[in-house]
Chains A and B, each alone.
Chain A
Amino acid sequence: MSQTNQGVETHGFLGEEFLTWLWFKWETEGGEFTLPGGRVVGIAIDDFLTFAALTEDETEQTLRRGLPTRTEEARTALRQGHRLRKARLLIAEGERQWTATIDAPSLILGGVKLPEDAEECESEIDRTADRAANWLALHEIVQALYRLFLKDRLMPDYQSTGAEQQANWMAR
């Protein structure tokens, strides 16, 4: 295994906990997050979910199309203690909206769609500058959300506070 894969091997589960936490926050608190610097972003889970297998021998379960978070299969997976491995997210900040599929163990973003190019863009150079800003903004939003999760997750009393609330939500 290369050095660069080590974080995924040893801490990939944390990405899965992060994604499941995003779903929990979205359902219980509405999915609005205030990030450092006062940025407010909205998150929603879209039409694609994959649950991580609890063991290497188990099958991954993927739900797609429609509203997979509302399905009985999704609720059952949560009740069984499954974490999310991948999910397609809608991310909004002000007028801008992104869609992206997060691969939780690596935090790699797939199938990204950036916001529409700004109306002021008159040239390819303008469009490149606008898109570069939107790519960076998406990356920074995901990183900032992950930091929020870590600040919750790394608290010494997490298991008796945040995790307890999330476990109750998963058991519904």
Chain B
Amino acid sequence: MTKKFSGKTLHWEWQDGVIELTLDRAPANEIGMDTLADLELFVAAFPALEKETAVCIIHSTRKHGFCAGADLRELYHGAASLSVNESVANVRKFLERIHAVLNAIDSAPFVTIAAVHGVCFGGGFELALACDLIIADKMARFAFPELRLGLIPGFGGIPRLKRDLGNALVRDLLLTGRSINAARAQAVGLVSQLAAEGEALRVARGTAAQITKFDATARAAAKKFIKPIPHDELKREIAIFCELFTRPEVMAALKKFVTSDDPMPYLP
């Protein structure tokens, strides 16, 4: 039996105990309101799917990568016509909704795998960090470029990366804004398996086939035991993000980014 869903920005299919969620929004799966709505529908299906699901693989069909992060153009244009208080209220609402989605993925009773290629930046990196395993092809790159905008990552990335790998790596990525390649990401423990270029999904499927052999109750208990959600830090992250977002420097940086003709506008 197959179950399917197709939204504006993604589609997913359940087959033989494995869900494959495919991110598919041009140009590079930037996360805005449409993606949020599709992801909310996806996690709303968990209660109906979880008893018969062992693994969920999240991957992208977009050529440039897994996900380039939040949709900054939508963020800028949405905030530009509003008062500061109104735009902060909208941002807070968006963050609370995306946190609910990522917390649901983080705590799903099945195993979640991010199969990553190309760019995995900002909000895309935070989506991957909500997953249990990251399998990356050798062309993948990971970054938190948010400080270039005068912000911090807002989708739970800092608490999750700190939980998984510790504060030093968070500081390196956050405070320099640099991207690291897949080999480095594997060396520090972020990436569990390296795949050849274009082979991350195939490796993820092979890993899923192994995981489905294990007892579901033990798997869920193990995950709950070793992967607590850092709720307090996640709430604090939203508060800090919203506090920073009120500053005119942020809108100026967003405007500079969305109107830039610099060949490398992602650089701080």
A and B associate in one complex: no
Residues of A whose CB lies within 8 Å of any CB of B are none
